[in-house]
A and B are shown apart, each in its own frame.
Chain A
Amino acid sequence: MMVGMAPASSPRAREDAASGSGVSGLLTAVASGDRAAFERLYDETAPRVHGLVLRVLADPAQAEEVTQEVFLEIWRTAPRFEAARGSAFGWLLTIAHRRAVDRVRSSAAARTRDVTYERQASAGPYDSTAETVTALLDAEQVRGALARLTDHQREAVEMAYFGGRTHTEIAETLGIPLGTAKSRIRDGLRRLRDHIGGER
């Protein structure tokens, strides 16, 4: 197993590494129609984008289609990305998440939705390349923050984000009042926010 990832030394170092010709720079080049930059952007971000889409859809064939849609949308809408407003990577993930959830909620996906959550909770194909493991190491901090959520909060947040379910569906699935579902989601998200913030 790969364990060679050096810990990020400081917030400043991380920030430096994230700037320059990173995702944001590539996106700016893509906005001007630079196909080579788009290819590099794809190379650098496709595993993360596809990983998120696959996690939501739990269906490799549909996930490929959606990943394709995501990158074509990125090409089309890159000029609208505003670096001052947020991270380029967050922007890509937002597009990917929204498209994946749209697909889950489309009628075709709805038929298999009940098994989808089960499948992603238990088993599903995923990639084993080195960056997976490296990313896992870096995800420790996030995992730490997630561990601060109660089981109920985490369950609700994950059903919403990765399961693509609405709070109403979550309430029905878990057999809890709607208000309870809403507050589990909100309290869980707040806690995640606060603990990530606190661990910076």
Chain B
Amino acid sequence: MNDDEIHELAGAYALGAVDDIERASFERHLKTCAACQEEVASYDDALVALASTARPVAPPPALKSRIMDALPEQAPAPAPAGARPAHRPERRTFASRTRLLVAAAVVALLAGVGVGIAQPWQQPTSVASLSPAERVRLAPDAKEYQGRVGDGFVLVTASAAERAATITTDRLPPVGSDRTYQAWFLDASGTPRSAGLLRDDGPQLLTGVPGPSLALSVEPSGGSKAPTTKPVVLVALT
């Protein structure tokens, strides 16, 4: 690899998109190339931004107990003085001191989440106070399935025990005032059965017992007996 080529690798390196051999040779190069050091460091905040596009997912509550149980008794070993953090990827080693506010905003957001919004494992204790949609979403066996419609998302939460499912949507493409999104449960043979019209972003309890998959189609206001347009999304509920 000649010198020009190796500069080209800065982006792929920052993203982790290099194999072990390329990483080793780029890191050798990095030691002596100020331009590449600077370039790699300059991507730090873009990487945090990229990471922040992944949707937060609360791990199952049991994971926290497993991790707490697995914590060693002793405190973490102090960092050796002057040692470069070996675990830290090079892009952190060369990190710039000024940070993009995207990172700060994400942290601020987390702080807000911490105090303002109940964590999912802090579940309401009174089942009776839950709406049917909440009951499905909080059912111990609830499973969640996601689909995309253009830039929007569909989230279906299904509980076999509750024999019910809810739907939540985010930024579905607008369909006009005389049309509506209609949800359909498909049986194993693909035959649709209406699961209701979407009223808003939800969460909304779907009508009927969930089938193996769910489709959304655009229908005239008031809905249809069977889909009259090609579904915009199909979400497998298995």
Binding site for B on A (CB under 8 A): 1, 5, 8, 11, 13-15, 17-18, 22-24, 30-33, 35, 38-40, 42-48, 50-52, 54-56, 64, 67-68, 71-73, 75-82, 84-91, 93-98, 101, 121-136, 138-139, 141-143, 145-146, 157, 160-162, 164-168, 170, 179, 182-183, 185-190, 192-193, 196-197, 200
Contacts and interface: CB of A to CB of B under 8 A. Distances in A.
Contact of A67 (B63, B75, B76): B63
B146 A123 contact: yes
B110 A123 contact: no
Contacts of A77: 76, 85, 87
Contact of A160 (B15, B53, B77): B15
B88 interface: yes
Interface in B92-110: 92, 95-97, 99-110
Contacts, number: 313
Interface of B: 8-12, 14-19, 22, 42-60, 63-64, 66-68, 70-72, 74-79, 83, 85, 87-89, 91-92, 95-97, 99-114, 117-120, 137, 143-148, 155, 157, 168-170, 200-203, 235-236
A5 B112 contact: yes
A18 B18 contact: no
A135 B55 contact: yes
A32 B106 CA distance: 25
Contacts of B97: 84-85
A17 B46 contact: no
Given A48-B51, A125-B143, A135-B55, 18 more contacts: A1-B201, A17-B104, A47-B113, A64-B60, A75-B76, A89-B103, A123-B145, A123-B148, A123-B236, A124-B145, A130-B117, A132-B57, A134-B109, A136-B170, A139-B52, A142-B102, A157-B15, A185-B11
B17 A160 contact: yes
A64 B79 CA distance: 28
A185 B15 CA distance: 8
Q: Is the interface of B mostly helix, strand, loop or mixed?
A: mixed
13 contacts: A15-B108, A42-B64, A54-B57, A80-B88, A86-B44, A87-B107, A89-B48, A93-B47, A128-B137, A133-B170, A141-B105, A162-B54, A182-B11
Given A18-B107, A44-B113, A94-B89, A87 B48 contact: yes
The CB with the most chain B CB atoms within 10 A, among A128, A167, A168, A187, is that of A128
B32 to A, nearest CB: 20
B92 A93 contact: no
B16 A101 contact: yes
B12 A127 contact: no
A129 B50 CA distance: 21
A43 B114 CA distance: 7
Nearest to A93: B51
A79 B102 CA distance: 25
A91 B42 CA distance: 15
Contact of A79 (B63, B76, B88, B95): B76
Contacts of B54: 48, 51-52, 54-56, 162
A130 B126 CA distance: 19
